[in-house]
Chains A and B, each alone.
Chain A
Amino acid sequence: MKTNGKGGKANGRRAEAGLDAIAFEIVKNKMLAAINEAGAVLVRTSASEVVVTVREFTQSYYTSDGHLTLTGGGILLHVKSIADIVRYLIDNYEHTIGINDGDMFIFSDPYLGGMHAPDQAIVAPIFWQGKRVGFCASLTHIPDTGAIDAGGFCPRATEVYQEGIRLRGLRVMRGGVRCDDVFNTLKAAVRLPDIVELDVLSKIASNNVLIRRAQELIEKYGLETYLATNRELIRYSERLARERTRKIADGQWRSVTYLEHDGQQPNLFRIQLTATKRGDRLILDYTGSSPQAATSINATYHAAMGCAFAILAGRLFYDIPWNEGILRPLELRLPDNCIINAQYPAAVSQGMPAGGGVVVFAVQDVLSKMLLASGDDLRRESSGVFGWSVHAPVMSGSNQYGNFFIWPTMDECAGGMGARVDRDGVGTAGTIQTPKVRIGNIEEYEQRYPMLFLFRREEQDSAGAGKFRGGAGGEFCFMLHKSSTGYIDIMLSGAGCEPAIALGVAGGLPARQGRFVKVKDSDAAALLRQGRIAQSLQELTGEKEMLPPKGYARIENRDCFYLAWHGGGGFGDPLERGPELVRQDIIDQLVSRRFAECVYGVVVTGANADIDRAATARAREEIRRQRLAQAA
């Protein structure tokens, strides 16, 4: 178990006079406990699958002038940008409408913070004896914004005005009393008023926890200790983050990642990242990336920054308190009018997952290489890129009870972990940006939506090969079942369907691309009546249409919908993988015999998959020969 304190102690970290080590530790941990508790409250009160299961929520504490002092739990993408929102609140409302005890303010403007209009934050001041002593905030992804498309991801949008209601700090609670005018306005603007209202209320409940716990801390340890801890937290994290950064090899790395399809056309966008590490500074420079698109795949500055924060927090600064101190070593260079720094009023609703999502891959790619070139303890933190298909098909329509539903399917969050330098990646593992991400039980899906899942499983051969392989990705297929209208609509918002994005490292291969497939007029239901459950696309008749990564599809009564999501990238040359490990993968049905032969050069025979040593040696030799021969 690593303790956060060790590095700092050696450095005589108590910069704040009068702040004793134990109080700092207790106050910090209590704040973290409050953040976890508030997260649990959100999960228990929200009606959104994205919050409850996928954990797209954030709680955090801020200083009274809007600096992030601590976050944890939920999703890491938004925490940095909420600090910008808090500062907007202070700058614009402190001397106008006022920020008073018991007030809470609601925001959902991607140009202020968050990633896109569905990211809704509620900010609350924390007061003590009539004086403002800090802020807290809770953010969740809400299921609808009243945009042109249900769910708020809008492939056809060309301006942000089409992407739903944008809130800039409406006072949703005034002196502890809910403001019905704001609630009613918001509810009138969205497709799922009750769920959205519950989600607003759940964030209020979450803020209530954060405020109450902060006040309890102040009562017990004194205001000075509380404030000093908050200030010290940022400095403490900064110090440790700089120390860690210094340990990375100095140098420059370049990565190019691609984003295919703009929602309307199969245009290609390029995100170029040049990472320069010098001393305790890290520069992420996106110069050379594509200009912004005419459609909604653009990311705002906040999305690009948030994605970088998430990866650095989860992969480099995992044992340092997460706050803006860990961003101080970082300099982000984003050209204007760029696909990941779009200018108002560009449409940005698909900026997450699309534009911003690609940043997640690019930063992982360069970071893994930087760590490989560093000392052994940092080398261990290198890995193949994590699979995460950034494609959340948003399904909507009428369910089996005749009620309207919107379901952003997030099973692709169970991507494969990238291969590690000494071990395989974990299969269907989750994401870096949401450390405790979950996908739903099939029973929960089938209870809520008019679907019957024919299968959901890890996909064979989906992981990137290598000396150590990535974790497997997955696939599912459903047919409509007891739909009250006979169809549902799907809005697709994916990336990585054409370019391989879960890249390997040090000679490891990338994982397969993700796919959306619609099977038109399938015989799935007829098969059920005959006592058979189709287990692959091949077993189904009907026209199989590979859907574009972004756009629209309608699934009707006899259709099936298939989704495959990414495994993790591999590490090292697959020819260095032990044949026994390959054999075990074959037994575990993770790798097909054909793949084993072609990629690993391992030949097995018989039902027990016994290794044919001689044939394996020959196959490997032949692969080596081809590698050098082809170039000649």
Chain B
Amino acid sequence: MGRRVLEHIEIDKDGNGHKVYRCAKCGTTLGPADKGFKEYAVVKEASYSHYVDAGILATRSDRFVLREFYCPKCAVRFDVESVVKGEPYLDIKIRDD
């Protein structure tokens, strides 16, 4: 068991003792933990307006986006950001020593 970062993201050691991110749902290794986990996720970004049709959001806006981060293997959603277009990823750094 690795160190939980978010519900489905954990930091663990790979076979060589290097710290890596893993998907806690399917166990897939995402990549070295020296960067943010979001760098390894499948990212889907769409303006708010896109979410109004399904009823998720109520008001259209083209300057705001929802940014979704998925496991490239099992497609579980790690995180959702609600930001203005162009905002850098909101990182999490866990000290695990």
Contacts and interface: CB of A to CB of B under 8 A. Distances in A.
Task: Find out whether A and B make contact in their complex, taking CB atoms under 8 A apart as touching.
Answer: yes
Interface of A: 249-256, 258, 268, 270, 278, 369, 372-373, 379, 421, 461, 465, 497-501, 503-510, 512-513, 515, 546, 564, 571-576, 592, 594-595, 598-599, 624-625, 627-628, 630-631
Contacts of B5: 372-373
B75 A627 contact: yes
B8 interface: yes
A509 B56 contact: yes
A572 B94 CA distance: 20
Interface in B65-85: 66, 68-70, 72, 74-80, 82-84
A628 B75 contact: yes
A515 B58 contact: yes
Given A507-B77, A507-B80, A628-B42, A512 B58 contact: yes
A594 B56 CA distance: 11
B70 A627 contact: yes
Nearest to B4: A373
Nearest to A257: B82
A604 to B, nearest CB: 16
A498 B57 CA distance: 10
Nearest to B78: A507
A250 B95 CA distance: 5
A381 to B, nearest CB: 14
B21 interface: no
A373 B57 contact: no
7 contacts: A252-B92, A369-B6, A465-B56, A507-B7, A509-B56, A512-B56, A571-B7
Contacts of B79: 506-507
B18 interface: no
Given A499-B82, A628-B42, A572 B7 contact: yes
Given A252-B93, A595-B55, A598-B54, A372 B42 contact: no
B40 interface: no
A224 B94 CA distance: 46
Interface in B2-43: 3-8, 42-43
Given A373-B92, A575-B76, A498 B61 contact: yes
Given A252-B92, A572-B7, A595-B55, A510 B80 contact: yes
Contacts of B57: 500, 510, 512-513
Contacts of B44: 627, 630-631
A29 B59 CA distance: 48
A20 B92 CA distance: 45
A513 B48 CA distance: 11
A624 B75 contact: yes
Nearest to A514: B58
Contacts of B4: 372-373, 379
A515 B60 CA distance: 12
B77 A573 contact: yes
A625 B83 CA distance: 25
A498 B68 CA distance: 19
A111 B6 CA distance: 39
A213 to B, nearest CB: 46
Contact of A507 (B8, B59, B74): B8
Contacts of B95: 249-251, 278
A630 B66 CA distance: 14
B64 A499 contact: yes
A258 B55 CA distance: 21
B6 A373 contact: yes
A627 B42 contact: yes
Nearest to A576: B76
Contact of A251 (B7, B68, B94): B94
Contacts of B92: 251-254, 369, 373
A389 B5 CA distance: 29
A501 B64 CA distance: 12
Question: Which are the 6 A-B pairs with shortest beta-carbon distances?
Answer: A507-B77, A506-B7, A598-B54, A250-B95, A624-B75, A251-B94
A505 B76 CA distance: 14
B84 A258 contact: yes
Contact of A594 (B6, B54, B64): B54
Contacts of B87: 256
A465 B64 CA distance: 19
